[in-house]
Every structure is written in C-alpha cells, then in structure tokens.
C-alpha cells in the first residue's frame, strides 16, 4: 500500500463509492480489502476499511463475515496488547540499575559485507520483554493500537461485534471464535483504561503551568467496547432492538452514505451557469472593444459633455448581444443605472466650494469605473481643472481623468478606470486643482475619501457540504467576530447577514430571481433585482423551514465567491439569551487575508447598525411615553 495518507484516503473513497454503486462487485472487493488490512499503515484509512467490511460483509453471506473476523484477529494478534512505554518511563528505566535477573552476553557475528562485529544479547528481564513486544507488533494495526490509538481500537471492537451480530455468525460460529472475540474486546477495554490513567497522571503533572499535551479521554471508547461485550456475552431484547435500529433493516448509515455520494456527484450549478455564460456571452464574429484605444470624453465651448459614455455603450452592446430575443433593453438599463447612481453617488467636495465634485463608483468586469461630475460654482471661467487621484489598498489607477475648462455654471463628466486584483477594502482619495484668471497661483481642494464596497465583488454561489469541509480544513486565514448585545431574532439576524454579504447556505440551492443569465452580470441589473432576491430569500425554505419563529439558536455554514475566484467560508453560531439578546460568533475562513478581513469588517458594521436601530427604537419609545398626557386630578366640589 502507499505511504501517502492523502492518496490512501482517496483510494478508500473510491472503493466506498464502487461498493455502494456496483453490488455485483461487492463480494470480490470486500475479500481483497480484508486481505489487505495487514498492509495499511494509516489509522484513518484502516477505520474506513473496517467500516466498509462491517457494513457490507454480512450481505455477502456468513462465510465472508467469518473470514473477515479471522483477518481482523490475525491483524491484532498476538494477544494481549500492551501499551508502549512513555518517554518518561523509558528514561527512568535507562537511569536505573540493570536488573539482577538479566543476563548479558556478548558475541561476535559476521555482517553482510563480511566484516566482524560485536553483538550484545540480553537474556531475560525487562529489556528482553520490551524487545519481544516490539517484535510482536508486526502489523501496522497492532502497532497503532499499542501506541494509544483508542479510536482505532474502538473501531476494531465495533466491527467485530457487527460481524457477529448482524452477520448471523453469533449463533453459528464455534465457541472458540466467540471466546477469541470476547478476549480481544476485553483486551481493548483494558488498554483504553490504561491510556486513560496515563493521561490523568500527565494532566496532574502539567497542572502547575504550560500547555498539557494530552489526548482525548478514552471514557467513550471504554463504554462503547463494554456495550459490545455485553451484546455478545449476554444478549437481551433491548440490546437486540437497539442494534437492529442502528444496524438492521433501517440502513441509516447506508442512506446517509447515499446522500453524501449524491451531493458529491451533483453538478455545481454555479460552475454550470458560469460555463453557459462563457459560451453564450460572445460569438466568434463579434467585435472586440478596447476601451483604452477609444477617445475620451471632450467638452464643448458651452461646457457640455460632447463625448459619449463609452462604458455604457459597451455595456449596452454586451447586454443586447446576450439577450435571447435580441430586443434592446436600453430603457430598463438606463432606469436601473439612474436608480443605482442616486443610491451610491457621494459628494467629494462641498456645495460652497468653487468646484463641486460628485463621485459614483460602479464595477465593470474586473475594473472600477469612477464617474466624476464636476461643476463650476463660480461666476468666472475655471481653466485647467485637473482631478488627481490616489489609491490605498490593492487598487491601481489605469486611466486618469482628463483636464477640462469650465465656463461659469457649466459641468463636465470625467471618468477614471481603476484596476482591482483582489477582494479587499480600498480607499480612493485625492484633490482637484484649477486656475482662475484673477489668481496667479494654482488653487486646489482636497477631495473626500471614497471607500470601495466589497459587496460589488462578492457574488452568490453554491457549494456542497463535502467541498465546504475540504476547503474549511485547507484554508489558513481565519477571522472570528463575536456577536454581542444584539436584540433581534436569530432568523432576522441571519437574513440580514446573508443580504449584506451575498452569502448563501451551504448545501442549499441559491435563490435565483426571474432574470436572464446575461443580464445578471450587469451591475445595474444586480441593483434592480436586489429587492426581489431579498424577498425570495426571506420567504424561501432555506430560512422559513429551517428556522422557525421560536428558534433560540442558529448553527449554519455560509459560502460566497468573489468575481476573482476567491472562496469565502463562514460558520455562524448564535444563541438567544433569556434577556432577548444574541450571543455567539461568526468565523470566516479564506485562502487570502484580504477577503477574510473585509468580510469581518462588513459583519461588524452590520452588527453596529442593528445596535443603533435598537437604541433608536428604545429612545423613541421613551419619548412617546414621556409625551403621554398626565391625567388631571379630580376636582373636589
């Protein structure tokens, strides 16, 4: 067998899928698998093989179950298994005197190359016994159990018991085999008890300080193995009912395995949609647009913009080509873009300044397009108006705004292209400089900062549970956000979190609005259907059926993907306290640091906004109570 744990685990997964899907090959595969048990070196792989043998061998007859039992006993023989001495015990034995019962003999031996060497032989005593125990651990399974792998020991005992009880071998097998299995289980129980005692002693020694390097306690292993012994030695109706419920005709384990395989074999709708978009977005004879080679916007004498919005024309052409019927959607796009501009436009200077600048950021493919509306608020002509921009973060300015001259009261629209290479919060800042006829020096105004919203880069995506677990174990960057002092329902908090981070529940199909595939990539179209997506998200089975109105806690995994292919994972654990507040945490993992920190800042901002809303509600309630008229005292006649 291979020495690579990853390769061996993949082989076991493949064998598992083959056994569950091809029943005609099941007996031959299980026979070869049982014969290979003594060659496997990884504990995880051995446990997977034992589960397959214990689950599917009884279906192939009593002979196969009995042969598998014999192979398992051979892998752990000879019995009893004694735990290996710890390092401290070895040091004490090395420092102590040599036992009187030990006989030391030195003899001359001939080596393989023909030279002579002296060999020291210890006859009797602890050294010979320890050397004999090491030689007896000839199989990897026995060696792992002797080293203290209690989980593997439990798996060996459960598999042997399952083969006896489920396979029908318990009443037909010889008494010698039954006694041998009972002796094996008793030996495993004694081994786990000794390991628990050693761990307890090490915990007491390390209680003074420092980190305790101990394993998980073996009390569960002892109780499980004790149940197995009771099921073999003294079976009763309650034990038979419990084993039938777990191992009998219900086949709970097999049904769960089938669901896992269906999830694993299921096609990822996000990848399918991405490939469909890639195949249908452009045709071979379509024109290729190079924005850098097109002329920029120019301004006429009256100060009006004589150029055209090249980016909007590109968007319109791409959108028209992507529609199924070829009908133009310019009115819809114009209205959606105008609504988005009203929602996201930010003033970069004041209205009292000579030059008033408004900024509007929107995502165009992998670039940011900064649209600047520049107004001349003075009664004189402003010459050489230049907007100088700088960036902070993973942003790079590709195309800078042009220099313009504005008449009194005129305005111009300038564009700047900023390249984004990763999902990370960035800042755009700078100043605007201009010349006045009455002034000799060039004047300037500092612009307000523009913060890049990472929500424009994150898209809703779908992933199955197996891929989520794999990525969760591989990703190294983690950001943990504690949730405290938030007086909302768990379902409301989760819906708000998913809405403001574009994350979806793992294993659940993402919510799709009734829009065309090509239109979803447009930023204005995303803004247009955001309300519809939010409404469907709240009404979908992902939340309404999973979380009832009286749910007191939430434990759910979320997933999102950026337009750059970065995966973002989140684990949400929330609990509603008796006082009505929420407590818990949100753990974010990603392959890169930027998206983990950016999503953490986003969740912190969501929590802060919810706390502000709650405080405003409380203050308004107090004011309304204070405004209530005080009843007048009755007048005495």
Q: What is the CATH number of the domain that holds 300?
A: 2.60.40.1230
413 and 483 assigned to the same domain:
no
Assess whether pLDDT exceeds 80 at residue 276.
no
Q: Give me the pLDDT at residue 3, please.
A: 67
pLDDT, position 589 = 92
pLDDT at 309: 45
- Of 452, 483, 500, which closes a domain? 452
pLDDT tens digit sequence for 569-591: 999 998 888 887 888 889 999 98
Residue 491 has pLDDT above 60, yes or no: yes
Q: Are residues 296 and 258 in the same domain?
A: no
Per-residue pLDDT of 38-75, as tens digits, reads 888 888 888 888 888 888 887 777 788 888 888 888 88
Lowest-pLDDT range of 24-38, 132-146, 311-325, 531-545: 311-325
Check pLDDT > 60 for residue 463. Answer: yes
Q: Are residues 466 and 425 in the same domain?
A: no
Each residue's pLDDT tens digit, 281-337: 567 777 777 766 765 544 444 444 444 444 444 444 444 433 333 333 445 556 666
pLDDT band, very low/low/confident/very high, at 240 (cuts 50, 70, 90)? low
* 104 found inside a domain: no
Res 134: pLDDT: 52
Both 324 and 422 in one domain: the answer is yes
- Identify whether the C-beta of residue 500 lies closer than 8 Å to the C-beta of residue 602: yes
Q: Indicate if 393 and 337 belong to the same structural domain.
A: yes
Number of domains in the chain: 3
User: Which domain, by its residues, includes 482?
Assistant: 458-618
Is residue 137 included in any domain, yes or no? no
What confidence score (pLDDT) does residue 221 get?
81
CB atoms within 10 A of CB 627: 7
What region, left, alpha or beta, does residue 558 occupy, with left being phi > 0 and alpha being psi -120 to 50 degrees?
beta
513 & 586 share domain: yes
Exposure class string for 101-115: b at 16+ Cβ within 10 A, else e? eeeeeeeeeeeeeee
pLDDT band at 519 (very low <50, low <70, confident <90, very high): very low
Residue 430 three-state SS: strand
Percent pLDDT > 90 in the chain is 5
Q: Are residues 557 and 413 in the same domain?
A: no
Mean pLDDT computed over every residue of the chain: 73
Which pLDDT value is given to residue 23?
Answer: 82
Which pTM was predicted?
A: 0.51
Q: Does the pLDDT of residue 633 top 80, yes or no?
A: no
Q: Is a pLDDT exceeding 50 seen at residue 456?
A: yes
Q: Are residues 334 and 391 in the same domain?
A: yes
* Confidence category of residue 84, pLDDT binned at 50, 70, 90: low
What is the H or E stretch that residue 598 is in? helix 593-626
Domain annotation covers residue 77: yes
More confident residue, 134 or 514: 134
Q: Is the pLDDT of residue 506 over 80?
A: yes
Kindly state whether residues 442 and 464 are assigned to the same domain: no
Task: Let me know if residue 438 belongs to a domain.
Answer: yes
Contact indicator for 387, 365 with CB cutoff of 8 Å: no
Report the CATH number that the domain containing residue 566 is assigned in CATH. Answer: 3.30.310.10
Domain boundary pick from 437, 452, 467: 452
Q: Is 215 helix (H, G, I), strand (E, B) or coil?
A: coil
405-435: pLDDT as tens digits:
989 889 899 999 888 877 777 788 899 998 8
Listed range (14-28, 63-77, 451-465) with the worst mean pLDDT: 451-465
Structure confidence by residue, pLDDT tens digits, 168-219: 666 667 777 778 888 888 888 888 888 766 655 444 344 333 333 334 445 7
Assess whether 311 and 443 both reside in one domain: yes
Q: Is residue 132 part of a domain?
A: no
DSSP string covering 272-320: HHHHHHHHHH--TTSPPP-GGGS----B-TTS-B-S--HHHHHHHHHHH
Instruction: Tell me if 134 is assigned to some domain.
Output: no
Tens of pLDDT, residue by residue over 371-405, are 899 999 988 888 889 999 988 877 888 889 989 99
The reported pLDDT for the residue numbered 392 is 84
Q: Could you tell me if 533 and 611 lie in one domain?
A: yes
Contact 425, 317 (CB under 8 A): no
Question: Residue 55: inside a domain, yes or no?
Answer: yes
State residue 320's pLDDT score: 41
Residue at a domain's end among 432, 452, 472: 452
Residue 632 placed within a domain: no
Domain identity same for 488 and 391:
no
Check residue 514 and give its pLDDT: 42
Which backbone phi and psi does 308 adopt, to 5 degrees?
-125, 160
Of residues 184, 128, 154, the one with CA closest to residue 51: 154
């Amino acid at each position: 067998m291979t020495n690579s744990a990853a390769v061996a685990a993949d082989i076991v997964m493949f064998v598992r899928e083959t056994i569950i899907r091809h029943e005609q090959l099941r007996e031959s595969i299980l026979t070869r698998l049982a014969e290979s048990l003594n060659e496997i070196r990884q504990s995880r792989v051995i446990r997977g093989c034992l589960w397959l043998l214990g689950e599917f061998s009884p279906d192939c007859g009593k002979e196969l179950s009995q042969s598998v039992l014999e192979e398992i006993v051979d892998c752990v023989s000879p019995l009893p298994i004694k735990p290996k001495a710890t390092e401290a015990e070895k040091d004490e034995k090395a420092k102590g005197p040599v036992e009187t019962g030990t006989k030391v003999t030195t003899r001359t031996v001939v080596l393989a190359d023909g030279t002579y060497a002296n060999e020291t032989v210890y006859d009797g005593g602890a050294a010979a016994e320890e050397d004999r125990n090491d030689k007896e651990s000839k199989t990897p399974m026995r060696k792992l159990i002797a080293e203290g792998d209690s989980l593997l020991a439990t798996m060996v005992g459960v598999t042997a018991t399952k083969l006896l009880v489920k396979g029908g071998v318990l009443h037909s097998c010889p008494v010698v085999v039954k006694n041998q299995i009972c002796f094996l289980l008793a030996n495993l129980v004694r081994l786990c008890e000794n390991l628990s005692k050693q761990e307890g002693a090490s915990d007491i020694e390390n209680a003074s300080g420092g980190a305790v390097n101990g394993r998980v306690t073996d009390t569960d292993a002892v109780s499980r193995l004790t149940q197995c012994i009771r099921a073999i030695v003294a079976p009763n109706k309650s034990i038979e009912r419990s084993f039938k419920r777990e191992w009998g005709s219900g086949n709970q384990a097999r049904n769960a395995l089938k669901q896992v395989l269906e999830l694993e074999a299921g096609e990822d709708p996000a990848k399918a949609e991405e490939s469909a978009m890639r195949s249908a977005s452009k045709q071979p004879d379509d024109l290729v647009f190079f924005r850098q080679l097109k002329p920029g916007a120019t301004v006429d004498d009256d100060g009006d913009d004589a150029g055209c919005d090249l980016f909007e024309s590109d968007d319109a052409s791409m959108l028209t080509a992507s529609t199924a019927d070829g009908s133009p959607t310019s009115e819809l796009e114009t209205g959606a873009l105008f609504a988005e501009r009203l929602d996201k436009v930010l003033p970069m200077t004041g209205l009292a300044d000579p030059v008033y600048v408004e900024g509007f950021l929107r995502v165009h493919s992998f670039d940011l397009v900064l649209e600047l509306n520049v107004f001349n608020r003075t009664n004189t002509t402003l010459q050489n108006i230049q907007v100088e921009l700088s960036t902070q973060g993973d942003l790079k300015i590709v195309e800078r705004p042009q220099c313009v001259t504005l008449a009194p009261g005129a305005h111009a629209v300038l564009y700047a292209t900023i390249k984004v290479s990763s999902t990370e919060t960035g800042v755009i800042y700078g100043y605007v400089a201009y010349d006045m006829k009455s002034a000799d020096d060039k004047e300037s105004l500092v612009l307000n900062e523009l913060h890049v919203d990472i929500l424009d880069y994150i898209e809703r995506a779908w992933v199955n549970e197996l891929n989520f677990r794999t990525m969760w174990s591989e990703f190294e960057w983690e950001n943990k956000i504690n949730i405290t002092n938030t007086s909302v329902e768990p379902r409301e908090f989760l819906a708000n979190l998913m809405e403001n981070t574009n994350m979806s529940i793992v294993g659940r199909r993402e919510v799709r609005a009734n829009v065309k595939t090509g239109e979803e990539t447009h930023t204005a179209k995303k803004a247009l259907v955001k309300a519809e997506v939010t409404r469907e998200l709240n009404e979908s089975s992902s939340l309404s059926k999973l979380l009832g109105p009286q749910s007191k806690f939430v434990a759910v995994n979320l997933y999102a993907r950026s337009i750059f292919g970065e995966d973002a994972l989140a684990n949400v654990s929330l609990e509603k306290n008796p006082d009505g507040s929420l407590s818990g945490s949100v753990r974010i993992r990603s392959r890169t640091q930027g998206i983990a920190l950016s999503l953490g800042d986003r969740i912190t901002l969501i929590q802060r906004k919810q706390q502000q809303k709650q405080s405003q509600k409380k203050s308004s309630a107090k004011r309304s109570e204070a405004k209530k008229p005080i009843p007048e005292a009755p007048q005495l006649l």
